[in-house]
Amino acid sequence: MRNQKSLSSVEALLILAVIVIIGNVGCSRQVAGKTLSNAGGALESGAMRIQQQRGQPKKTDKTANWIAYVSLKDRFSLRYPKYWSVGFREPQFCFGDVSKFVAGATADLVAECGSEYNGQIYVFSEEGNQLDKHKLETDKDFYQNLSSRKVIVDNIEGTRESGTANGQFSEKFEEKYTLPGLPDGTKVVVYLFYTHDRTYVAEYDHRIGEPDILRDFELMITKTLKFSN
């Protein structure tokens, strides 16, 4: 009888041990399953992030394919859009300094030699500090909506001024001033820099009815203009 009871106790212990082992195996499989599931989720999330990054548009330099321009006399270089017209109209009538960079959205909007028309865009430099001569702020009587802010171009600090022409052009204008001014409503943006003992001027004039190329003008000055000694 004692042997039978002892055997029954041993059997019970064996059965309990088997149950514990089976339970541990099941738990291990659950943990392993969760680990694999988490790993799979992480891989899937990483793959989605890569796809999203690939789908984002790459940042490109819009000025990379623009045309290079170098002025040895005025000591600067820049790049300008291929669609612009560049160079003076009627060059056979040009006298004096024609080293300015002049441009416009079309050939009709480029500076014309022998006239007072300076075109949509011109860039030049001159010796010495001539900043005050070219500031719009000094001509407050002839501009509205004036604004000015600091800018950094080619590691040189300068100013960007803007305003709208008003009261410059009239029938009586030539009685008081040598040259006629800009028509009312013309939007003007001027960049001014002083470095290497030279004053650099870049101006954009947008008359009413003309194509607006201000955005490309801003890119040309802020991204491509370089000063040289």
**CATH, residue 215:** 3.40.1000.10
Same domain membership, residue 87 and residue 40: no
Higher-pLDDT residue of 146, 96: 146
Q: Which tokens go with 97?
A: 């300094």
Calpha distance 48→129 (Å, rounded) = 57
Calpha distance 198→126 (Å, rounded) = 6
Q: Please give the share of the chain, as a percent, with pLDDT higher than 70.
A: 69
Same domain membership, residue 132 and residue 49: no
Which pLDDT score, from 0 to 100, does residue 2 have?
A: 43
Which pLDDT score, from 0 to 100, does residue 27 have?
A: 47
Which pLDDT score, from 0 to 100, does residue 176 have?
A: 46
Last residue of a domain, one of 59, 76, 95: 59
Same domain membership, residue 200 and residue 88: yes
Per-residue pLDDT, averaged over 118-128, amounts to 95
CA 202 to chain centre: 17
Which pLDDT score, from 0 to 100, does residue 39 have?
A: 47
What confidence category does residue 36 fall into, taking pLDDT thresholds of 50, 70 and 90?
very low
Same domain membership, residue 180 and residue 144: yes
Which pLDDT score, from 0 to 100, does residue 21 have?
A: 56
Which pLDDT score, from 0 to 100, does residue 133 have?
A: 92
Q: Which tokens go with 183?
A: 């028509």
Last residue of a domain, one of 9, 29, 59: 59
Domain count, the chain: 2
Same domain membership, residue 106 and residue 186: yes
Across 47-51, 80-84, 90-94, 101-105, least confident range: 47-51
Q: Are 161 and 190 in contact (CB under 8 A)?
A: yes
Same domain membership, residue 89 and residue 8: no
Full-model pTM: 0.71
Last residue of a domain, one of 59, 77, 107: 59
The length of the chain is 229
Residue numbers of the domain that contains 20: 1-59
Same domain membership, residue 205 and residue 119: yes
What confidence category does residue 99 fall into, taking pLDDT thresholds of 50, 70 and 90?
confident
